Amino acid sequence: MERTLVLIKPDAIANNHIGDIIKHYEGKGFKIAAMKLMKMTKEIAAKHYAEHIGKPFYNDLVEFMTADPLVAMVLTGENVIARVREVNGATNPEKAAEGTIRKLYADSVTKNAVHASDSPENAKREISIFFSEIEIVG
């Protein structure tokens, strides 16, 4: 079983899509191993987005992600990392395939509803930023 981190971003929460998005993942057969509603701090953002520090969009990204609550989840399943990214759709909702989460719920490239880990290494790193092992049940 593989694990991935998913963040339901502040824009999706503001638009009341938490349940819709969770239902979408569960409908694809993914299991929720951990979940919490939280507010990202600037310190957590710096760890999570470490590779983007110094880039022109970094400050706006941190401002967006720390302004309002988000939902952090660990999803499990076979090949879950690639499959969740496919279910999420392209970062730009205009280019996302029909029926994907971003096509259904994202507003823009920046306000794109969800984040998911892109590799096993990043999944492990990102999960450890948001959850301790005792918080993960699967």
Q: Which residues are catalytic?
A: 115
DSSP string, the chain: -EEEEEEE-HHHHHTT-HHHHHHHHHHTT-EEEEEEEE---HHHHHHHTGGGTTSTTHHHHHHHHHHS-EEEEEEEETTHHHHHHHHH--SSTTTSPTTSHHHHH--SSSS-SEEE-SSHHHHHHHHHHH--GGG---
